[in-house]
Copies of this chain bind each other. A is one copy, B any other.
Amino acid sequence: MRRFRPMLLDHEVTEQQWRVLRVLSEFDGMDAGDLAEHACILAPSLSRISKALEARGLILVSRDPVDGRRSIIRLTQQGFDFIRVVAPISGQIYAELEGKVGRERIETLLDELDALILELAPEK
Q: Which residues of A contact B (CB under 8 A)?
A: 2, 97, 100-101, 105, 109, 112-113, 116, 119-120, 122
Contacts and interface: CB of A to CB of B under 8 A. Distances in A.
How many copies the complex holds: the figure is 2
Nearest to A2: B122
Main secondary structure of the interface of A (DSSP, over half): helix
B112 A100 contact: no
A116 to B, nearest CB: 7
12 contacts: A2-B122, A97-B120, A100-B119, A100-B120, A101-B116, A101-B119, A101-B120, A105-B116, A109-B112, A109-B113, A109-B116, A112-B112
Nearest to A113: B109
